Amino acid sequence: MVSETVVLETETAGGRGPASVETPPEDVPRTAAPDSGGGGFAPMPEPIIVVEAYESVAERPEPSTTTASEVAVTPLEDIVATRVFAGPSEYPPAEFKAYGILAFPARATSQTLERHSFICEAYLARLPHADEVSASRSVQMVTVWPMRTDGQAANLNALSPADTCARAVTGYGLVAAHDAIKDARKAGHRLEGRGPYLLAWSPASDKGRADVLVLSADLSNVSTAEGARNVMHKWAQDIEKQPDLWSNGWDLEKVRLAIQLWVDRFGENVLLAIKEGT
């Protein structure tokens, strides 16, 4: 078994550089602990995609030569990006094609309440509720906002979006969020920013496995309502326009290209850690 790290870095102190294949330097987080042998590192887990979202298109670097036409796909089926509030007994949600979660590392405080609120508003504005759409749950990729109790979730699922975010923020289900972040870390992904994180598993049954590929969009750099709307729009757009990225488990090569479009649009720093088999 041979391990290597492929780093595609779009922004560095010295400017934009080409992709390279190298051993990570000491200041780059490693995805595996030292082994018990000669001080080396154990094999890394399956591919981890990390997307750090910038809040505006204006922050993006010069676009790469990758174009949308290069990643165009023929939809496998009509996939719908949706949302749902879920209590402890309802997460992870059943019956959906795949699912994700909007995971905050901490509940809102008086200092962060405004930011949590406009992220919630962007979530509601871009994603229809799972019960609003005509499509069956079997073709929905649902993004969950966790709640502390099943009753709170049921009440919010019945409310109109205009009445929802104040209750959604104060009743946020931190335990489910922490569990999701922990599962992503099991897959070798370090999540240490202020978040929130959009974490997705496909298929849904893979959640919690140490060797599973997790797609993560890090919203730590998002600090405006417009930035939140931009990221939520791109999240939903990728779900619906490129279903074969994830509908039968992640297609790594297509995920790579889709992430390049995120880079071109938002200017993210992208890290791909890949385990190569012999």
113 by DSSP, 3-state: which? helix
Closest CA to 1 of 272, 190, 211: 211
Is pTM beyond 0.85? Reply is no
pLDDT of residue 75: 42
Domain count, the chain: 1
pLDDT of residue 247: 57
Please list the rounded mean pLDDT of every run of 10 residues in the chain (278 residues).
Answer: 36 41 42 42 40 50 46 56 96 87 97 98 96 93 96 93 90 96 82 90 63 72 93 86 61 51 46 30
- 239-264 as b/e: b if 16+ CB within 10 A: bebbbebbbeebbeeebbbbbbbbbb
Closest CA to 53 of 163, 197, 161: 197
pLDDT of residue 192: 86
Letter for the amino acid at 43?
A: P
pLDDT of residue 16: 43
Enumerate residues 6+ apart whose C-beta is below 8 A from 183.
Answer: 199, 201, 207, 208, 214
The residue range of the domain holding 40 is 2-276
The edge-to-edge listing of strands for the beta sheet with 197-201 is: 20-22, 2-8, 270-276, 48-52, 215-218, 197-201, 98-103, 140-146, 80-86
pLDDT of residue 59: 52
pLDDT of residue 249: 52
pLDDT of residue 55: 53
What does the alpha-carbon distance between residue 4 and residue 24 come to, in Å, rounded to a whole number?
Answer: 9
